[in-house]
Structures are given as C-alpha cells and as structure tokens.
Structure 1
C-alpha cells in the first residue's frame, strides 16, 4: 500500500512538472514580448494551477475553430475587394505630406489600403448631437443600414436610435446590427433584440461569452469597433458607444462620458463596408458584399477633398497593425504631439517612442481623465507617469467627466481618430478601427477640440508627483505587474 501511494505521488509530481514545463515551453515559442512572457511565467510559477488555467483562458489569441476557419477564408476576398476599390481612377491618394507619408506607405504595404480621396468629414463632439444626427440619417436611409458597437445600452436617446432603426426595417431597409456580447450584455437582457428581430432587423451577438467555452476561445477578445454605415455612402466611427451618457455608468461617479465621433460621406464608406462585411462573415458565416464604388464619388472632390485612410485591426487583419501605425505617427512628429486616451497603459515600445519624441524637442501633451471607471487601469496607468514626466511630457488630467475620446494629432497635420485606447487590449487584441486624416484644416479643428479638453484639465505637477506617498508607489508597481493584461 505504501509503495502504491509513493508511486502515485511521484507520478502526480512528474505530471505536475511536465505540465509546468509544457506551458513554459509554449509561452517561450510564441515569441511574446518579454514583459508579457515574464509576467505569465511568474504567475504560473507562483500560483501554478490557477496560473495555467488563466494562461489557457487568456494567454493566447484564438477565436475558436469555426471563427478561425472563417477568418482564413475571408482574407483573400477582402484583399480582392480592396483592390477593386483602388482600381477606381482618381479615388486613391498618390501624394501625402512629409509627415503622413511614412504612415500611409506602411498601411499601403501591409493592408493594401491607401488613402481615399473625395470625402466630406465632420467631427461630432457632443453625444446628444451625435445621436440626433444618427437618427436623422437612419430616418433618411433607403437601402441598407449596418451597425457594430461594443456597447449598446438602452435608455434615453439610445432608444430613439432603436426606434428609428425598427421604422427603417419596417419600410424595407435592410438593417444589420452586430453587438459585442460582453459589452452589450444589458441590451440582450431586454426586449429590444426580440422587437428588432420581429421588425426584420438582423441582430447578431458577437463573440458570445460562455463559461462552457472558456478553453475553446479566448473570452476577453472583444468586438470593440463603433461603426454606422448607411446606404454605402454615409459612415460614422469614433469613440462613442451607442449609449445616452446621461444614463450610462452613473454608478461609477466619474461624470458623463466625453466622446469624439466622425461623420463621413463619400467613397470611404465602401472601404469601411468591406471591414464590416469581414466582421459579419466571421460571426455568422454569411457573406455580404458591399456594392463597388463608382466614378460618381470623385465628384465630391470639387466640394471637399478630405483624404481618409482606414486602419482595421484584430484577427484576420495584419498583425500589430495599429501598434505599428501609432509608432510610425509618433516618430514622424517634429514639433508637437497631442494624445487623448481614456486608458494609458502603453507598450514599452510606445512608452519609449513618446519619451524619445519629447527628448527630440517635440512638445508632447497627453490628456487623460482624472477619474476612471476601471480601478485596475487607474492605478496601473500611474506607474508610467514618472518616466513620462522625467522626459518632459505634459500630462493633463481632464476633470469634466470621463474623457473617452481617442485621438492623436501630429504637428497639426496628421490626425488619428477612432476606437483605439493606448492599452494592451486595443493594441494587440480587440477588433478596432482608426481613421487617419492628412489635412491641416482638419488638424486645426481637432486641435481646437483637444485644447478645449486641456482647458478643463489640471496639469500634473512633476515635483508634486515625485513627493507622493510611498504606499502609492507600491500600489502602482503592483498593478503595473498586471499591465500586459489590461
């Protein structure tokens, strides 16, 4: 009996160390970033069983068997559709400013997407105005409406959008709605999905969360895009979820969320429609093909010639595209760099690029909310302040609510606006979308908005920050340890 017990014990120890060795080897061969890999290894060695379960659940990027198969089949068709768009004469930009040229060239080579000319572009800074404008466009829709959002929370003006969408479907407009399962959990618990489906709207719950599939698909991989497409001609994207800020997350006591959206008219809607069709096919297995653009789009160039580049990220799109694009934009800065982000947990490369820009003599301003809805992010982001301040970066803490806008402005010329936070999830994991605009007039408009944010912010004093309590430094470093997962 004793011998049998000893043998079983040794077998358990052997299989335990074999499992640890196997996971360690798996982490090393994946070529993760060093901080990411070291953090996982420490977690696995300190709390082995829980660490292994956590790594198998959240450590690798996988969609599951069906979605992965769809992603592989979607790629060639997306490439062909983009080539068709670029085959239209006089629609693609061939010359950019010196500041924008490296970024546009990167995207052309990696995504096959260059800037699209002939678009009207409007920035929307007031959430109420944004929702009213969306309702108006939905009411005028004739053929099709496509939407994708991370969060749709019923209440207030969000219900007006839902009612307008139902009315559009009832008059024969083909409506498709793609909502993230985790972000829109409250929406799917209401009667709105059934009401919409009864009206003929295709409502799809993207990346469903299920404890039963936790080892079959990464559950924290989310559909984070915010896009509205109407009649293959009007497009919206930006930081705003489909919520009424008067009712959204009031229990967090951080104030109303402050967002930035872009409304576009022109051929750029076709490019965004191709990205949407990719998301739709990945989730449903059904292919929708936006109609090809025609030469009539080029007539817009006589009225307004905004050149817009769309960068999409997530499984199925070029790896690390958003991360490389932001790095390229930062390295292009010569005079001034302004960044707004609600969550500041940059990669080591981005952190160093921002600091290097400041050391090169670039005036670098970062605007973040003073109060954040995430306790973990709030403390983890503070761990980066010291290095940024030492490099001469100005950090402004916005006090007019939760600043949720995501924007980068380089030398008043190159603008990036979209859904991407400066955190690991947006940079490496989620489905995101960003607009790149190479236009000085648009840059001036974005600068006015960013300066308005600064006017409602408090500049972080470097000396006072150095004098903060020692216990705060300990907490910051503790949460910094988890920054690769935030």
Structure 2
C-alpha cells in the first residue's frame, strides 16, 4: 500500500513539475516575443530577455511595471483623440506666426522647425522674458500675481509641498477663488501625494477651486499603464497673459526635504509676458482635458494671444510619452551638435544615453567649450553614483565638469553659444527625455542668454571643477560602484 502511495505522489510531483515547466516556457516565450516586438537598443533588449529568462517571476513583473512606455490603453486613446482636436489649434498658430521665424538667424530657423514638428508650437516674437533666481522671492511674486489676477489662475506642477510659503500660495488661491477668479490646479499624483492626503484639496474645492490629480497610481492597473510615468511640468498662468515656468516646484526651500542632507534646493524660473504665454495656456488646457476624467474631448476656448510685450523671440516645447514622442530628445541632440563656441548644461540629474554622450564628447573634441554643472551632493545616492560613471569619458573628451556645493542645484538649462537657451523642467536624463511629461521655453535672445550666463557664473563660483588626473586616481571600489549604479540609469 505504501509503495502505491509513493508511486502516486512521485507521479503527481513529476506531473506538476512538467506543468510548471510548460507554463514557465509559455510565459517566457510570450514575453520574449513582447520584448522583441518593440524596436529598442540591442543591449536593452538582451538585458530584458536575460532577466525574464533567469528570474521569470521577478523579471516579468518588472517588465510589466517599467519595461515599456505605455500610459494605458484608455488614456492613449483619449490622448490620440484629443491630439487630433488639439492639432487644429496648433496649426492655426503655425500659420499665424509663420513670418516670425524670418526674424531668427538662418542657423536657428531649422532648429525652431524641429521644436515645432509633430504638432508642436511655433516661434513667436514680441515677448518679455525675465529671469528670477531667488526661490522665496519667486513664491512671494506668485502670491502677488494671484492677488492681482482678474480672470483665471492655472497651476500645473509636479510637486506642491506642505509648509512654509507654499502654504501662503494656497491661502492666496483660496482668497482669489472667493473673489471670483476661476482657479484650476493640476498636480502629479506621486509628486504631490502628501498634498493630496492633506486638508488642502478639500479646502480648495470648498472655495470653488477645481483640482485634478494627474496620472493617479492605481494598484491593479500596472499591467495596463506604466507606474512611473509622471507629469513633471512646472506651469503657472495668470489671466491667459502671463506665464511662469522653469525648474521650481511649489515648495519652500527652507522646509522641503531638509532631511536629505543636501542643503536647500537651488532653482530658477522665468516670467513671460507676450504671445508665447498662449502656448503654455494651450498645453495646460490639453493636460487638464487629458487628466480630467469628466472631459471626453479637447475643447480649448481659444483665448486670444497676449499682446506683444517685448522684443524676445521664444517658443514653448512640450513633450511626453505618446504625446510628441522623442521630439525633446531630438531637440537636445540638435542643440548640442549646433554649438560652435560654447555649450553649458546645468542639471541636478545626469543620465544620458549613448547618443547624447557621443554628441557631448564629439562637440568637445571639435573645439567647443562644453561645461556640465551638477550638484556635488544629490538627494538620490544611486543617481549620484550613476552620474559619476560618465565622468571619465567626458573628461577624456575635454568636457569640463563642475560640481556645485551650494545646495542641490535644481536648475535645468542648456545655453548654446550665448544666444539660444533651453530652460524649463527637463533633466539631462533618460527619464525626462523619454518618460515624463515635460515643458521648456526656448529663448532666441542674446540679452536673456547674457542674464542666464550671469546666473551660471554664480553657480560656477560655488562649484569645484573635477580634475581629470585626480579623478583617474580615485579608489577602484568607487569605479565599480559607479558602473554598477550605471546599469540602473534607464530607470532613474
């Protein structure tokens, strides 16, 4: 009897093992097919295939979470539908402002065309652009703008942090809504998670302020939408005529992330008056329509463009997955290659791919002075180690690397030959260039670029250049640690 039981158990065990192996084979084969169905860098594809084959449960779960760039089938359909409706407005802009491009130098015209391609917005003349560099003063100016607003206030940010003067901005918004100003607030679900858990959403809604949570993280829907796609834009629009944009979230640097050990965050913003403000209003309207589940079609009110306020030619550059895929990446590559004398990049997070690295190294080797300014201390150790894995190749190519020690340098800018600037929310990493919804202002104006250069010089005064000889002699364990962290760079 015992022999029969043992034979039965052995047979059952072998049968279960065979079934498990069969299921394993089917799942792995299926996901390998999914991986190769999308054309991606060969190294990335083989890395995913290796992970899925070696650690099927972990690998498949990881691939479902972050392996591709989907925003979800339902949201993709909505974006596609609204993008067709949105294109009617942008086409009208391109026709209306077509002559403004002729005011640009010949070498800048093709660059502006790239930035407006794939349903983007054109260069427009007649703007006034002011650079602001003190975060507390910027928050006070936000409050002043809110107090003076007559018609509408539209805010779109990645983070609204609790505490300090950021709360004063919230109180001013409530007061504005009570006096009849139409207020809308669009915040990223993850970046502003503490704000959404606080009393502020209820207070805003009770005051008549419309609040929408962008890209909410929903457990159980990861198989349909990548979990780490974020709304990273920073946009504040007053009366459809004035716009603020740049690197700064709605945070008070005196209270924000004070336990991270990196000091206060250092940011910069621009205040823009003029026709380009309507481009930011258009982007806000599009994002609001996409992220608000009650809206099914994009129905922009076509607010009249703000009147000319100055002599600056500028252009908004909005980007994101599904929405204008890879245009931002192509613009960055083009800006680097177009540099003839000087190229300066400020970024808190540095994680380029091979294409950007080759562009930077090639630009330095043909005699352009290329300078990268990044914070010495970072709020993410993994990002810091990964960033430094690129240093040796950059230094050997002649790129100058300066590490800022006056806090966490959060300003994101690219200055080309002191006459063209890209300024906004974009980090020089693959997350900003491939995954996040980002916003930038391209400024074709030497006076503004001169002001940005002055700001950059102030950063350099608080920085130390990395010495190539000293860097080459760093401990071997640091080299291995940096290269190990580099393997995670596509995910950071």
Please give the TM-score of this superposition, normalised by the length of structure 1: 0.96
Q: Which residue number in structure 2 is paired with residue 257 of structure 1?
A: 265
1:57-76 alignment, distance < 5 Å: 57-76=65-84
Matched, 1:340 2:351: no
Q: Which residue number in structure 2 is paired with residue 430 of structure 1?
A: 436
Comparing 95-104 with 417-426, greater Cα deviation is found at 95-104
Q: Which residue number in structure 2 is paired with residue 477 of structure 1?
A: 483
Q: Which residue number in structure 1 is paired with residue 307 of structure 2?
A: 297
Matched, 1:451 2:490: no
C-alpha contact 2:120 2:318 (8 A) present in aligned 1: no
Cα RMSD over matched residues? Answer: 1.6
Q: Which residue number in structure 1 is paired with residue 5 of structure 2?
A: none
Cα gap change, 1:482 to 1:99, in 2 (>3 Å): same
Matched, 1:166 2:206: no
Shift of 1:34: 3.0
Q: Which has more radius of gyration?
A: 2
Q: 2:86 aligns with which of 78, 83, 88?
A: 78
Q: Which residue number in structure 2 is paired with residue 275 of structure 1?
A: 283
C-alpha contact 2:241 2:273 (8 A) present in aligned 1: yes
C-alpha contact 1:335 1:361 (8 A) present in aligned 2: yes
C-alpha contact 1:99 1:414 (8 A) present in aligned 2: no
Q: 2:194 aligns with which of 186, 197, 202?
A: 186
1:63-462 alignment, distance < 5 Å: 63-88=71-96, 92-285=100-293, 286=295, 287=298, 289-293=300-304, 297-298=307-308, 300=309, 304-462=310-468
Shift of 1:316: 4.1
C-alpha contact 2:121 2:315 (8 A) present in aligned 1: yes
Cα gap change, 1:316 to 1:474, in 2 (>3 Å): closer
Shift of 1:94: 2.7
**Whole-Å separation in 1 of the counterparts to 2:119 and 2:337:** 20
**Whole-Å separation in 1 of the counterparts to 2:267 and 2:218:** 30
Instruction: Please give the per-residue CA displacement for 1:72-99, whole angstroms capped at 9, x wherever unaligned.
Output: 1111111111122334368743342244
Shift of 1:435: 0.9
Q: Which residue number in structure 1 is paired with residue 4 of structure 2?
A: none
Please give the TM-score of this superposition, normalised by the length of structure 2: 0.95
Secondary structure at the residue paired with 1:175? strand
Cα gap change, 1:372 to 1:35, in 2 (>3 Å): farther
Secondary structure at the residue paired with 1:11? helix
**Whole-Å separation in 1 of the counterparts to 2:358 and 2:109:** 22
**Whole-Å separation in 2 of the counterparts to 1:182 and 1:108:** 30
C-alpha contact 2:100 2:125 (8 A) present in aligned 1: yes
Q: Which residue number in structure 2 is paired with residue 55 of structure 1?
A: 63
